[in-house]
Structure 1
Amino acid sequence: MTMHKKKLVAGNWKMNGTLAANEALVKALVGGLDSPACDVAVCVPAPYLSQVQSLAKDSAIALGAQDVSAHASGAFTGEQSAGMLQEFGVRYAIVGHSERRQYHGESDEAVSAKAAMALRHGITPIVCVGETLQQREAGQTDEVVKRQLAAVIHDNGHCISEIVVAYEPVWAIGTGKTATPEQAQAVHHLLRAQLHHAAGDHAAGIRILYGGSMNAANAAQLLAQPDIDGGLIGGASLKAPDFLQIIAAANQAMSAPRA
């Protein structure tokens, strides 16, 4: 039986949470986790980084941010630098989430600059790529995700093996629609080939997460695919039982023999 690379289950709380709700959620996760075989992270709103850092201390849960500035410091009101995040023990930062691209006009170049800044501070960027429904229906999926990832590879080629990629079909985020395991695997395979071209054999160790409405019901099937190395979980990460079930599915997928 071969062990797969460590899967990663990362929760993205988006703009949700209260001090009381966060405490209940993190305590339930810590209590239900034990020693997971996979890596686990929660990406929380910036005001709660300190609280969650304290709640998750000495547990298997790594802390993540939902964004990071492309700038080191200065007159950038409302931004958080990688250095600031580092001070709170942040291990992961989501960059280029479709909601940032859509509502905040983030370009591929901006996403790439953010990834570079995270890497410079020892924070692993979770680089999101994905197509809209319109793009998928127009047959542009491959072209769009390759373009989005190419920008990050172009600027970070020397340390590309240190990133995490998340494929999030925009049409499957918060809509309840999920890519079929086959649809998701096809894109993950394409991204793996692109990474292989850039990083050679190191590409096999780069984790590619699926991030489009993965939940307790469909996680096992998605995580069984050869190129799906974990999940970037939205709504289900706010419910401890669901999130724990996805983590259990990831643990299970890691111990399953390769087909």
Structure 2
Amino acid sequence: MTRPRIVIGNWKMNPLTPAAATTLATAVAREAGRVVRVGVAPPALFIPVVAEVLRETRVGIYAQDVSAEEKGAFTGQIAATMLTSYVNGTLVGHSEARRYLGDDDERVAKKLIQVLRAGLEAVLCIGEREDEFDAGATEDVLAAQLGAPLHALSESDRDGRMTERFVIAYEPVWAIGTGRPATGEHATAATKTIRRVLEEDGGIDGDAIPILYGGSVTASGAIEFAKAEGIDGALVGGASLKAEEFAGIVRAFA
């Protein structure tokens, strides 16, 4: 089965002004090709500005996070239905949201349900910490982080359309900003675990779901992962703030 090639730039809490966000979005649009699906995830405040810049381009727009609730008295939260007018999809369960904002498997599962029911694409982020990797627990961690949201999905959530709106980003947390890079071989092994869990716990054709690599991706490092079996693209952090570097990553997956 041919899966789409996807590269998404997660800008995190950058840049700091609408003007800078506009400049970056314009530069990314110039570098976007036709073979790879390219997307950016700007800070929430800048989504409308960036959406306007990219309106006539092939670049998709993603939110960095979403509420686990549908609506109501949840100060500071953004519901999935609120995002539908502006974005193609959203990240769910990013490693930084898990670490700093208290996202656990239960909350991530609720977020995933909200996103899919709103008709948005969900980019579910999963990955093991350094202590878990060193303990040889990668498979167990991935199975737990993926199994929890899969078990929470209803039969209607699992319909055929879901596979068209579901992407997984594998984030080996121990390889992010540590100088301890993962290898393509390790990433391939992780994708095999992920696709097995999709089928066994979710009743989903694992071969139909794109898996992105998200461990401190650079233009030079992306080449190895682009060649790795089972990897269909990248979720890019800091390198996505430099248009030329980001373009190099896109080209690696073309």
TM-score, with structure 2 as normaliser:
0.93
Change (3 A) 1:56 1:176: farther
Equivalent residue for 2:112, pick from 115, 132, 142: 115
Amino acid at match of 2:53: L
Match of 1:82 in 2: 80
Q: How far, CA to CA, are the matches of 1:91 and 1:39 in structure 2?
A: 12
Equivalent residue for 1:175, pick from 156, 174, 178: 178
Q: How many percent of aligned residue pairs carry the same amino acid?
A: 41
Matches within 5 A, 1:168-247: 168-198=171-201, 202-247=205-250
Match of 2:26 in 1: 27
Contact 1:43/1:92, CA 8 A, preserved across alignment: no
- Is 1:70 the equivalent of 2:68? yes
Match of 1:9 in 2: 7
Deviations 1:55-81 (A, max 9, x none): 111111101000011111111000000
Contact 2:150/2:202, CA 8 A, preserved across alignment: no
Return 5+ residue gaps in structure 2 as ranges.
none
Contact 2:147/2:201, CA 8 A, preserved across alignment: no
Return 5+ residue gaps in structure 1 as ranges.
252-259
1:198 to partner: Cα distance:
4.2
Contact 1:36/1:247, CA 8 A, preserved across alignment: no
- Size of the aligned set, in residue pairs, is 247
Amino acid at match of 1:42: V
Match of 1:257 in 2: none
Match of 2:122 in 1: 125
Q: CA RMSD in A?
A: 1.5
Secondary structure of the residue aligned to 2:253 is helix
1:174 to partner: Cα distance:
2.6
Match of 1:250 in 2: 253
Match of 1:106 in 2: 103
Contact 1:181/1:222, CA 8 A, preserved across alignment: yes
Contact 2:88/2:121, CA 8 A, preserved across alignment: yes
Q: How far, CA to CA, are the matches of 2:62 and 2:140 in structure 1?
A: 29
Contact 2:125/2:168, CA 8 A, preserved across alignment: yes
Runs of 4+ in 1 over 4 A off after TM superposition: 198-201
